Copies of this chain bind each other. A is one copy, B any other.
Amino acid sequence: MHHRADDGVQTRAVAGPPGLRTSVIRSVVHRAVVGHGDEVIGFEDGFKGLLDGRHRKLDLDAVSGILARGGTILGSSRLERARLREACESSKELAREYGIDVLIPIGGEGTLTAARMLSDAGLPVVGVPKTIDNDISSTDRTFGFDTAVGVATEAIDRLKTTAESHQRVMVVEVMGRHAGWIALESGMAGGAHGICLPERAFDPADLASMVEERFARGKKFAVICVAEGAHPAEGTMDYKKGAIDQFGHERFAGIGTKLAGELERRLGKEARPVILGHVQRGGTPTAYDRVLATRFGWHAVEAAHRGDFGKMTALKGTDIRMVPLAEATTELKRVPENRMDEAESVF
C-alpha cells in the first residue's frame, strides 16, 4: 500500500449495503492479505456499521468455505440519505479513526452513489458493482445478475411444463423495477411467448392476440414473462399502481397479478400469475457470477494499491477495467431497443 495507517498497520475497509456478496469479500481478502500483506476489516451492515463503528477483522479463516454461499457475511442495510451526508462530512475523521487506506463498497446504484459522495468528500474509494438488476452503466454485467436469470429461467422451464399439461396461460413476474434485464434474458432463455419490460409499454390486446393465435395453432398454453416495473401503454388497460406501504412495497397485486386478471377477462381462459420475488436473490451463485465477483475483488485490490481511486471495477468484453464512479452512476443502464427487437422476434 502507498499509505500506512496511523497505527502502523496497512488497512483496508470493506463495506457493502445492500447485498454485499461473499465471493467478492473472499477475493478481496485473499488478494490483499496473501498478495500484499494488507489487513482487511469489514463493516457490519455496510455504511451503517462504518458510522456506528461496528467492524471486524477479515482474515483467511473468516472467508474460508464461503465461495458457494450467496448473501453476505457482513449483513447489509439501507441508510438514510441524511446519515450518509453526515458520513461524508466526517469522512476524513472516519478514515483516520479506523486507519483506512481505502474503502471498498460493494453494491448497486444506491451504494455506488454513496461511494461517489464519499469519494467526492475526499475518501479513497474503489467500488464494486453488485446488483441482480444489471442496471449499472459502464459495465457489461454486474454480478448477481447471472444467478437471478438462472433462477428465473429454471422457474419458467417448470411453468412451461405445467402450463402445457394444464392448458393454461401463466404470467410470471420477475424482478426489475427500472430496467428489464432479468425479464429479457430469462424470458429469452426460458422461451417465454411474451416479454414485458419497463423500457417499452405493452398492450394487453397484443398479448391476448398472441395467446389466441397459439391456441388456434394447437399450442394450448402460453407463458408471459413480465418485469415488476413493466406497465401497459396509456389507455390500454384499467391500471393504477397499488398503494405503497410503510416498507416501500406495493401491496398485494403487482403488474403480474393485474396482467393475469386482464388476460383472463379478455380471453375467457384461466390465466395464473406467479410472482417469483425474493427467490431470485439468494442461494448459491452461478459459476459465471463467482468468476466475475472473484475478478472484481482482485482488481479492486490492485486498483487500491495503484491509488486508482474514485472508480469502480467494470467488465468490458473479457477484461476488467476501472471506470469513474461518476460515469457509472449518472444514469441507469436500461435495455436498448435492439435487444428488445431481438427478443420479440424469436418467439
Interface residues of A (CB under 8 A from B): 18-20, 26-27, 30-31, 34-35, 64-65, 67-72, 75-77, 140-141, 146, 149-155, 157-167, 170, 185-186, 188-191, 219-220, 247, 249, 251-253, 257, 261, 264, 270, 272-284, 286-288, 290-291, 294-295, 297-298, 316-318, 342, 345-347
Contacts of A297 in B (CB 8 A): 346
Partner of A158, one of B189, B270, B282: B282
Q: In the complex, are the beta carbons of B161 and A282 less than 8 A apart?
A: yes
| A157 interface neighbour in B150, B272, B274, B283, Cβ under 8 Å | B283
A258 to chain B: closest CB distance in Å?
Answer: 10
Q: Is A282 a contact of B165 with CB atoms below 8 Å?
A: yes
In the complex where A76-B165, A270-B247, A282-B162 touch, is A149 in contact with B342 (Cβ < 8 A)? no
- Tell me whether B185 and A281 are in contact (CB under 8 A): no
Indicate whether A345 sits within 8 Å of B31 (C-beta atoms), given known contacts A18-B166, A153-B290, A278-B159.
yes
Chain B proximity of A34: nearest CB distance (Å): 7
Residue from B150, B159, B185, B294 within 8 A of A189 (CB atoms): B294
A18 to B185, CA, bound (A): 27
Please determine whether A191 and B264 come into contact, CB atoms closer than 8 angstroms. Answer: no
A164 touches B278 (CB 8 A): no
Query: With the chains together, A186 CA to B70 CA distance in Å?
Result: 17
How far is the CB of A323 from the nearest CB of chain B, in Å?
13
